[in-house]
Amino acid sequence: MATEATDGDLDGIEAAAAPPTATRRRTDRHPLLQDWPQGKWCPAAVGKVSGYPRTAVEYARRRAQLRLNRAKALRAGRLTRHGVPNGWAGRKDEIAEVRRNSRTAAERLSADLQVRGIWKPDNVQAAFAMRAALEIALSPLNRPVDRLDAMRVVLKYTQPAPVARRIMSGNPLGFLQGLVDTMGRR
């Protein structure tokens, strides 16, 4: 039986849908440091927070070293965030567009490989895997090592094996016979 909602029933929904406010407390800091301004040495935390510097000078030295480490990692390109490549922070719409473009290019290329007869999928999973590998290889958002791995997978299934490998796949005598045959044709 449906009942009509009153204004009192919607109060909980509106409160749950309200965006979080700036007064929300951080939960990733030690309880002794939560009310303390960030970046300032807290004498109350000495001996109570594991690894906390004992003096203000040591605290300043540690902060300076962390800044240097961060700058060095930024220059080397080692700071990463899952799903957000370096240099793309705050550009979520552009990332989505680049991924969408690489996905459509991968679908087109996969279809083209099938039409030309270069590659024929055995099942739906094989087609999906090839499209995913092509998408990774074509996207500039992925790390170079991941793109190379994806290219290696694509080449493994689209390029024929070299002659020596095809001949060697049988027995060793077949390899030698194939070798003799290829030398006899020259």
Per-residue pLDDT of the chain (186 residues; tens, 9 = 90+): 444 444 444 444 444 444 445 455 556 788 888 888 888 999 999 999 888 999 999 999 999 999 998 888 878 777 656 667 777 777 888 888 999 999 999 999 999 888 988 888 888 998 999 999 999 999 988 888 999 999 999 888 887 766 655 555 556 556 556 656 665 665
Identify the pLDDT of residue 54.
94
Of 72, 48, 24, 32, nearest to 40 by C-alpha is 32
**How much is the pLDDT for 83?**
66
The pLDDT of residue 69 is 87
Distance separating alpha carbons of residues 126 and 124, to the nearest angstrom: 5
DSSP string, 60-128: HHHHHHHHHHHHHHHHHT---BTTB-TT-TT-HHHHHHHHHHHHHHHHHHHHHHHHTTS---SSHHHHH
CA angle (27 as vertex; 53, 49 as ends), nearest 5: 25
| pLDDT at residue 15, as a whole number | 43
pLDDT of residue 129: 92
Q: d(Cα 150, Cα 85) in Å, to the nearest integer?
A: 17
